[in-house]
Amino acid sequence: MRPSKSDRGSETREQILITAERLFAEHGVEAVSNRQVSEAAGQSNNFAVGYHFGSKDELVLAIVRRHAESVERRRAEMFETLAGSTDLRDWVSCLVRPTIEHLESLGSPTWYARFIAQVTTNPTLRERVTQEAFASSTLQRLVEGMFRLVPRLPEHVHQQRGVMCRLLIVQLCAERERELQQGTAAPHATWAATADVLVDALVGLWLAPDTSRR
């Protein structure tokens, strides 16, 4: 039986998503045109991206959504185990580990962590992807619960540490992904070890004293 037009359309969309994720991760979002994505995805129609996704921004969001379901499911399951924990480490773990477990499940090579790292360099896309992430009620409740355990900080310090938190997660995951593809990862290094390092660092970050008030 020949695949239906709908099936062919779904296959084309999936191939475009996979190809765009890799190209954006390797070269940056702004450096890759929709036409280049279409050609690399094996599409004779150079306007395939526009036909299936409308714009590059929507293509980026579609890539994020392609991974979001797995991360959200893992986060929701882990969130249920917190049960009012008063240990900041538990809450930070719930912030970090679902994404890292998802990355590990993808095998190697993968490009999603590096794709996110590239997206964060574009202010507009970073804002849209952040808004997309915080549409998750689980993530909203997680962040609210985590901040109840963080010492009171001046607003500008709080914001700066939030940026540092995001950058640490994004960049360390991207570096791990890059090392796996290049075969330069240390033998003892694992995704689980990456999660442990991140949790330790972020707990220390949020509990660090604010010496700017001295």
Q: What is the pLDDT of residues 128-141, one digit of tens each?
A: 999 999 999 999 99
- pLDDT single digits (tens) 146-173: 999 999 999 999 999 999 999 999 999 9
Q: Is residue 55 part of a domain?
A: no
Domain that includes residue 202, residue range: 61-209
Q: Is residue 200 part of a domain?
A: yes
Confidence of residue 10 (pLDDT cuts 50, 70, 90): confident
Q: Is residue 100 part of a domain?
A: yes
Yes or no: say if 179 and 69 are a contact pair by the CB < 8 Å rule: no
Burial classification of residue 175, based on how many CB atoms lie within 10 Å of its CB (0-12 exposed, 13-18 middle, 19 or more buried): middle
Whether 202 has a pLDDT exceeding 60, the answer reads yes
Yes or no: say if 77 and 142 are a contact pair by the CB < 8 Å rule: no
Q: Is residue 44 part of a domain?
A: no
Dist. CA 210–CA 214, nearest whole Å: 8
Secondary structure of 43-107 in HEC code, one letter for each residue: CCCCCHHHHHHCCHHHHHHHHHHHHHHHHHHHHHHHHHCCCCCCCHHHHHHHHHHHHHHHHHHCC
Yes or no: say if 195 and 96 are a contact pair by the CB < 8 Å rule: yes
Total domains in the fold of the chain: 1
Whether 1 has a pLDDT exceeding 70, the answer reads no
Q: Is residue 98 part of a domain?
A: yes
Confidence of residue 204 (pLDDT cuts 50, 70, 90): very high
Which is it for the CA torsion 36, 66, 93, 183, positive or negative? negative
Per-residue pLDDT averaged across 184-209, rounded?
A: 93
Q: Is residue 50 part of a domain?
A: no
Q: Is residue 20 part of a domain?
A: no
pTM above 0.85, yes or no: yes
Whether 3 has a pLDDT exceeding 60, the answer reads no
Q: What is the pLDDT of residue 214?
A: 62
Is the bond preceding residue 109 a cis peptide, omega within 30 degrees? yes
Whether 44 has a pLDDT exceeding 90, the answer reads no
Q: Is residue 32 part of a domain?
A: no
Q: State the amino acid at position 50 in one-letter form.
A: G
The mean pLDDT of the chain is: 92
- pLDDT single digits (tens) 88-113: 999 999 999 999 999 999 998 999 99
